[in-house]
Amino acid sequence: MPDLANKTIVITGASSGIGAATAIACARAGMDVLLAARRRDRLEAVAAEIAALGRRAEPVSCDIADPASSEQLLDAADRAFGGFHAVFANAGIGLEREMLATPIEEIRRLFEVNFFSGADLLQRAARRLISVGRPGHLLMCSSCVAKFTLPRHGAYSASKAAQAMIARAMRSELAGHAIEVSTVHPVTTTTEFFEVAAGEDRGHLRNGVPPHVPPLFVQRPERIAKAVVRCLRRPHAEVWTSHIVRLTAGAFTAFPFLQEWVMRNEARKYRRRDAETSRDR
């Protein structure tokens, strides 16, 4: 089992949610952390928590959709820590909207943030590791909906599926360089994610998550963070924190009619909710 002490990880989307929780969990495991996100004040708050644990943190505010951000982050890791062992491309945005109501520009933006920025970061990180002959570990925060989709989440699910596919390809391609590649597949997580994804239509959320999600499938970001640290210690292809959802994803793949039945039921729930909202107005 690899020792993580004194190794460095680069984490995007590190100002809150899964990214912040993972940064703190990695620090507890003995790692130093380069923290990347747009909100400088929140990055500095996470950095202070890491410092209190006796580890080093370097906050870097940036927009990961900016093509220059990948080199900026890796250069910062070189300057602050002399390089890196792991990279967690965690930053992402959500979108809850029917496909026909979603302008193609919004879908492009979703893919720029969720897919292209992460793909660019992992590519550049892998090239640097290879150039210095250093083993490493690249991780991409995908989602359980990389394996199936739901109404009003088609574009988001597509971006997550794309992440999972390139990471799986990179895993086999980089094995000869002793570089591990893993994808993380969270279920519904108690972060600000769903409020941002819902936009102005967030009145239906309960405690920040969609009301149709059973409590069994709602997790705290710290649970995902602990699973990421376990994967860093003992690398494997996919990180799941719900065996039930993983089995469900497999069943949906093997029996597509099951997913179709679930999707139609969910679509009816959305239509009823929309009708009730219209009446209330």
* Amino acid, res. 244: I
Q: What does the buried/exposed string (b/e) look like for 32-66 if buried means 16 or more CB atoms within 10 Å of the residue's CB?
A: bbbbbbeeeebbeebbeebeeeebbbbbbebebbe
Cα separation, 174 vs 226, in Å, equals 25
Would you call 85 exposed, middle or buried from its count of C-beta atoms within 10 A (0-12, 13-18, 19+)?
buried
Name the residue among 178, 166, 167, 88 with its Cα closest to residue 136. Answer: 178
Apex CA 88: angle with CA 86 and CA 94, to 5°? 175
Element (H, E) at 10: strand 8-12
Token readout for 242 is 């719900």
208 — alpha (psi -120 to 50), left (phi > 0) or beta? left
Q: Report H helices in the chain.
A: 17-28, 40-52, 69-81, 104-111, 117-132, 154-173, 193-198, 221-233, 243-254, 256-280
Q: Name the residues annotated as catalytic.
A: 156
